[in-house]
Chains A and B, each alone.
Chain A
């Protein structure tokens, strides 16, 4: 059984890497995990291409849950999902959850073997 992958997308590489560190501390290495932060030239921002690569790095047949911070992170992630090959597109979701807490709880849920919908729902329970 494959485990749902987690992708963390922040405007800041430090935030993204830090959130990923917290995930690793919690769930070890069994959950496919990738992070990306910063725009196309490394400035604060997000990059469509970097997000696409991160989705492929964290790829799992069980799907991938993405955690984002602000506006452009979500918009670029949606664009990246739409441009995926058709057989992958339906297996990637963006969680409407706080990026750090959402990533940790989504990964914890994933590590227990939960499916993509459950991983997403659990993360989104954090949102008011």
Chain B
């Protein structure tokens, strides 16, 4: 699949990604997670240890507290700072997994990325998350949202379709049998529940798409 789509409706151009936009984007992601704490906790209580919602909320509340200083940073530094906040505040396996996602994005993205560069960086960050979790697609994890979303993004999907793809990918984890993470202990009984990590990933992407979609 080609990863070059410069003629898209909304590209990540530097004049668009000013301080206020960075603030809105990262704020939207954090607020979306905080708003869904109970849902994520309920999903995790069904097939995990029930702490995903609270853990993620703790991490993203720390992000919200620092929105001013974060939004003043360059995009790579901002992403690395968010990554370290998630690593230190979230705990569980989600802390290092989401932390790795943001840290890798910060490492891979230039300060003023084109859409094509963003797609490549997103792909590289997924490789880092796969390594961190020793996991891959089809194991009922956040990767089952991140991987198809990255493909759709690289293929030139607009914000509305990307959001739909991410949310649908999370729903599609319900019939899967978990083979990584705490849910794998349940074996067959993990079938029928949406994976909490897949859901939180889809929520973040949906929040980003809503922000980008508004123009």
Q: Is the beta-carbon distance between A75 and B51 smaller than 8 angstroms?
A: no
Complex: how many Å from CA A109 to CA B116? 53
Complex: how many Å from CA A76 to CA B181? 13
Instruction: Tell me the smallest distance from the CB of A79 to a CB of chain B, in Å.
Output: 4
Of the candidates A44, A49, A72, which one forms a contact with B88 in the assembled complex, judged by CB atoms under 8 Å apart?
A: A49
Contact (A71, B58) CB under 8 Å given A39-B92, A78-B96: no
How many interface residues does B have (CB within 8 Å)? 22
Complex: how many Å from CA A47 to CA B87? 8
Chain A, residue nearest B59 (CB) = A40
Of the candidates B49, B88, B182, which one forms a contact with A48 in the assembled complex, judged by CB atoms under 8 Å apart?
A: B88
Instruction: Tell me the smallest distance from the CB of A16 to a CB of chain B, in Å.
Output: 14
Contact (A75, B91) CB under 8 Å given A39-B55, A41-B58, A45-B55: no
Q: Is B133 in contact with chain A by the CB < 8 A criterion?
A: yes
Q: Is the beta-carbon distance between A40 and B49 smaller than 8 angstroms?
A: no
A79 partner residues in chain B, CB cutoff 8 A? 87, 95-96, 99-100, 132
Interface membership of chain A positions 26-53, coded 1 if the CB is closer than 8 angstroms to chain B and 0 otherwise: 0000000000000111011111110000
Complex: how many Å from CA A40 to CA B94? 13
Instruction: Tell me the smallest distance from the CB of A40 to a CB of chain B, in Å.
Output: 5
Q: Is B89 in contact with chain A by the CB < 8 A criterion?
A: yes
Contact (A75, B55) CB under 8 Å given A45-B92, A70-B182: no
